[in-house]
Structure 1
């Protein structure tokens, strides 16, 4: 259905997705119980996972300004 709907408008993108379909969907080969534990190699996703993990466990971020400061420092550190 995806190929049928988007082939005419985005032929190169559809060709790339068709070519790499198996690699893109490898995640779903694992049992659903394991999905939340599988780590991503996506740099952007990994950075935000660090921020999400740390900020949800921090009790000192009572104001928006302190949360933004903490988030900025966490992103800066994760970037390294």
Structure 2
């Protein structure tokens, strides 16, 4: 379906971020600041 294809295209764009060490949680990019505040809560 178009939705799966769109996810595949977006995933390819995010692949560079993953290689650069950007963390993702449930498919959403997580910044280091947000990650720290969640773990502290």
Where on the TM-score scale, by shorter chain, does this alignment land: which range?
0.3 to 0.5
Which is greater in Rg? Answer: 1
Whose strand fraction is larger, Structure 1's or Structure 2's? 2
Greater relative CO, 1 or 2 (CA 8 Å, sep 6+): 1
Whose helix fraction is larger, Structure 1's or Structure 2's? 1
TM normalised by structure 1 equals 0.26
TM normalised by structure 2 equals 0.35
